[in-house]
Chain A
C-alpha cells in the first residue's frame, strides 16, 4: 500500500520536472541533463549548432548523478555523466554510452604570492592533504617538492565538493590509485571526507578557494582559468612534472585502451607516459538503445556527430580535448546499436 503510494508520488515529481523541462525547451530542441564538468563546451556547441541547423539544445548542468537519474526517468533525450556507468548497469537499463570530450582536473590553491604553475604536487601528497595527514603548508613533504617557493606556516583549508560529482569520482579514483591509505575513504561520486569544507559544484569550490586564504581545492581546468585561480603542476606516474595543457591531456588519452572497455568506460586517471596529465577525465553521453521517438534520437546523434566532426576547435578554445579520431570512428560505428522499437537503426 505504502509502496504504491510512493510510486505515485515519484511519478508526480517526475511529471512536474518533465513539465518544467518541456516548457523550458522549444518543441524542436534536444534536451539533455547531467555533468557540470563539460557544460561550458556543450553550451558553446549548442550555440554554434543552432546557428547552423536551427535545432537548439537545452542542457541542464545538474551533475552526473542527476543526469543518470533523469535519463533513467526518460525526462531527457540524453544523459551526461563524468563517471562512466558499468557495463552491467548499462545493459540492465538498455543504455548506450560513449565518451564525448576530455578535460583535466587541476588542484587549485590560494596562497599569497604563489602564481599559477609555480607550485607542484604529487598524487601521494595530494591524497595525504585530503586525508588530513598533512595539515600545514610548510609540511616537509610539500616543501621537498617546492624548493624555492615560500610556503607559509598556516593551516591548509581543504575544499571538496558537497554535491555528488563525477569530478569527485575521477579525483578520488586517482588518489586511490596513488595512495593505499585512500582506501579508507573509497571511490564514489560522494564521499565521507575526513577533512575540509564543501562547495556546491565546480563554481562553489572555485568560490571557496578564491575566498579562503590557505585553501586547496580541485576543479575542472576551464573553471580554474575562468576564475583566475592558482593551479599547480603535478608529478605524474612516470615521475615527470607536467602542467595542465591540451598536450598533457592528449598524452594521457593516447595510451588508454578504448576498444575493450564496455561503454568506452575508460578512466583516464594516472595514465602512464612522460607527458600525461595524471588527473585527466573523459565525460560520457548516455542514450537509450531502443528509442520510442526515433526521429528525436536521430537529432541527438546528429548533434553529437556534428560535435565530433566540427567541434574540436571550439573544445580546444575552452581547454577541453576532442576524442582521438580512432575513438570517434569506433563510437560512430556503435551508433548502429541505437534503434527504434521495430529494430531499425535510427541513423
Chain B
C-alpha cells in the first residue's frame, strides 16, 4: 500500500519534470545552441567583410594580379602577394614532410611497440611540446638551431645535394642558417605534437581483434601499421594532418624569428623568405600609406582563402576516404 503510494508520487514528480523539460528546457536549449551557431557564423561573416573592406584599395589598384605579383615595394607602392604566398606554402610543405612521418612513427610506437610502463610518460612529454609557446620555438630556433644550421647542416647540404641535378637548385647559395628550410623545420616540430596526439587516439580506436588477427596471420609490425591500422583510421589520420597543416599555415612568431623576413623569390630553400603571417607581424604597425596598409590586409585575405581551400580539400579527402572504407 505504502509502497505503491511512494511509487505514484515519484512517478508524478517525474512526469512534472518531464513536462517542464518538454515545455521550457528543450526550447531554451535549442535557442541557446542556435544562437551560439549564429554568433560564430556572424563573426566569420564579419571577418570576411572587414578583410574585403580593408583590402579594397589594394584589390582595386592591383586587381587579381595582386596574387601573382612578386614585387613588394613600399617606396613605389607596388605590392603583390606572390612571395609571402609561396613562402607560406613551401614552409608548410616542409613542415608536413617532417611532421607527418615523425608523428606516424611516434604514434605507432606509442600504441604498438612501446612497453606499457613508459607509454603514458612519453605521450605526456610529447603533448607538453604543444604547450610550449611559439615564441620559445622562435628564440630557440634563432639562437640554437640557426648557428648549427649555418656551420654544419647547410654546408653539408650544399656539398652533398648542391650539385645533384634538379634537386640541386633547392640547396644553393651561402649558408646563413636562417631561411625557409629552418622555418619549415621549426614548423614541423611545432605541428608534431598535434598530429601525434590525434594519430595516437585514432590508433587506439582500432579494435584489438583486427591487430591480433593480423599478427596471428604472421604479419610484421610494418604490415600491421600500413595494411591494418592505417586503412582502418584513415579519416582520423587525415583529420590530424589537416589540424597540423592549419597550424603551420598560420603560425607567426616562430616563423618571423627564423625565416629571414625577405620579400624575394628564390629557388633555394636555404635563402631567406617570408610568409603571409610573418609579413603581417613585421609590417602592420609600421605601414604608412593607405595602399600599404590595404595590401597587408589583402595578404590576410589571401591567407584566409588559402586556409579555406586547404580545409575544404581536407574535408573532401575525408569524405572520399570514409566512403572508401564503408564500401
Contact = CB atoms under 8 A, between A and B. Distances in A.
A200 B286 CA distance: 11
Contact of B286 (A63, A186, A199, A213): A63
Given A6-B54, A192-B73, A212 B272 contact: no
B261 A65 contact: no
A188 interface: yes
Contacts of B76: 186, 192
Interface string A159-195: 0001111000000000000000000011111111101
B286 A189 contact: yes
Nearest to B57: A6
A64 B135 CA distance: 24
Interface string A211-229: 1111000000000000000
A20 interface: no
Interface in A122-145: none
Interface in B274-322: 274, 281-283, 285-288, 292
B286 A211 contact: no
B56 A2 contact: yes
B74 A162 contact: no
Most interface-central of B54, B74, B146, B262 (chain A CB within 10 A): B262
Interface magnitude class on chain A:
35 or more
Size bracket of the B interface:
35 or more
A208 interface: yes
Contacts, number: 115
Contacts of B263: 192-193
B286 A164 contact: yes
A31 to B, nearest CB: 16
A207 interface: yes
A197 B288 contact: no
Interface stretch (B22-30, B173-181, B194-202): B173-181
Contacts of B53: 2-3, 5-6, 9
A197 B176 contact: yes
Contact of B288 (A69, A185, A198): A69
B147 A192 contact: no
B272 A196 contact: yes
Contacts of B56: 2, 6
Given A2-B56, A154-B174, A212-B178, A197 B261 contact: yes
A62 B49 CA distance: 28
B72 interface: yes
Interface in B146-180: 146-147, 150-151, 174, 176-178
Interface-central residue, A69, A192, A208, by most chain B CB under 10 Å: A192
B72 A192 contact: yes
A214 B88 CA distance: 27
- Scoring A154, A162, A192, A197 by chain B CB atoms within 10 A of each residue's CB, the highest score goes to A162
A198 B50 contact: no
Interface string B38-52: 000000000001101
A62 B288 CA distance: 13
Nearest to A186: B75
A319 interface: no
B286 A197 contact: no
Interface centre among B52, B146, B288 (most CB of A within 10 A): B288
Contacts of A211: 142-143, 146-147, 177-178
20 contacts: A3-B53, A6-B53, A62-B285, A63-B286, A65-B287, A66-B285, A68-B288, A157-B176, A164-B74, A164-B287, A165-B286, A185-B75, A189-B286, A190-B74, A192-B76, A192-B263, A197-B262, A198-B260, A198-B262, A212-B146
Interface of A: 2-3, 5-6, 9, 62-66, 68-69, 154-155, 157, 162-165, 185-193, 195-200, 207-208, 211-214
10 interchain residue pairs of minimum CB distance: A164-B286, A198-B261, A155-B174, A186-B75, A162-B261, A65-B286, A192-B73, A190-B74, A197-B260, A162-B282
